[in-house]
Structure 1
Amino acid sequence: MQELRKHNLTGILLIYMACFSFRIAEYLFLRTDQTILGEAFVHKLLGLGFMLAALYVYRLKLEQIGFQKEGFIRNTLIGFIWGLIAFALAYLLEMAVLISQGGFRGLDFYVSAYSVSGNIGQHREMIFVLLCLAGNLINVLMEEGIFRGLFQKLFERKHSFMTAAVCSNILFGLWHIMAPLRSLLDGEMSLTGFWFNSLILVVTSFLIGFQFSLMTKLTGSLYMGMAAHFVNNTVVNLFHVLSKNGADQLLTVRISIAQTLSLLALLIYYRRLVYLLLRR
């Protein structure tokens, strides 16, 4: 264990590969996200176990990676409001485009699961809403705890915040290639489609994760990023835009708009804050 503590990168990669191996197993064999549960959550529960084990190995406490008690309610509310505003603007822009084209047919509320080719499934019972909320909660606890909490903390032992954020979120970006990989292996996607979709998902996930890293830096905890992450995942699974071509035809565009607006606003605020601190 002492040797592992000395080599942060080795430890990070071992934890990442362990989590990713279970992610592969769930996506290719268990396929829980394609079942009535609608979420690949088993490997994320195991990931939380890996995180707690790593905290023991590295002699860290939950508070040290962003799970402190102070500011929980305040930062969580800020994250929820931040995410909801970004997505409200994205939905309005999407509806405006569809209305201008004469294709808007309204909004709908039901539970679906995200797929590379668009949302799948349509469940309206309350039990599915609760399953969706629970699955997304497990998701944000694991991904924020691992990538913006544990990995960020370990990288920062030898690197600056920015370098650590870039490194941890490159891993987060690569974490998202499983959906297009499964589609490729299942014959649902061509090799060209796989590379194209993988590139989009990796880059988009990197930028979204980097945004959550900035939120963690600004607030000193994971809660704002967790709340914004929860909104990002949950809203697109529950609120759907109907058009003459079907539901959620501009889903990818909607997510891109919401996250671009959110990231730009956050970068402006972060730059302004750093500027004011340097002037003191």
Structure 2
Amino acid sequence: MKKIGVLLLCALLAASVMTACQNGGKDGNSSQTSSAASSAQTSSAPASSAEETSSQAASSQETSPSSEPDKVYESGADYTLEITEMEPAGIDGVSVSMTVPVMGGAAAQKYGVSGEITRQVNGTVQEVIADSGYHSGTLTLESEAPYYSEKLLSIVMTVDYTAEGMAYPVHTVKTVNFLLGESGFSDFASAIEDNDAFREALTANNGSNVDDETLLSGISEASVYFTETGVGIAVPVPHAVGDVVRIVIPYSQTEGFRTDDPAWNSFQ
């Protein structure tokens, strides 16, 4: 009887130990599974963050401008333009009187137009004196502005220079065309010298007493300017026939020799 009790007790204890071991194994697996899942979640978090960062970067690239916008000239800029007398700079030995266009308004001040005009006019005076070979005399320069807008300012300078010993006075016309919004100058004249359409339009509008052959022989030194009605050409000719011939070609006749020079943007 005692043996049966002992055996029964041992059986109960063994069953209890086995159940505990089984439960312990299940808990351990559960813990490992939970830990692995947690680890997987932690591992996936950076990937999700990277995707969000990449998405944000793509969105930023789509909404940001690809480059700086072109310089936009101030719309409705208050322009004023007047021709005024001005003292030349650095002209020794020559009596000079000249008039210069002075441009005002916020936009003109922003791009320093008036200062550049003065430099160009002074440069023209010095060029005429140097080309004459006489460094003592009397010079007058009269400026006019046949065309100006927010995009373009065209200036014509008529220069007369006399000096003792000259066979005859110098009489010439020089021009400069400011591309206001671009802070530069038109180089249109150099592009049309050998253009047949330009030559034909020039001679077709030649109302002077200078024959076409003489006129065309001087176009390599011609100066170009713009007016409300057409493009102007000042062509140097021999003194015997007037020194300079000025011709205006209507814009309707300029299609054959227009270039990509920005000055033409004002005359579409």
Q: Could you tell me the TM-score, scaled by structure 2's length?
A: 0.25
Instruction: Give the structure with higher Rg (CA).
Output: 2
Higher relative contact order (CA 8 A, sep 6+): 1
Bigger fraction of residues in strand: 2
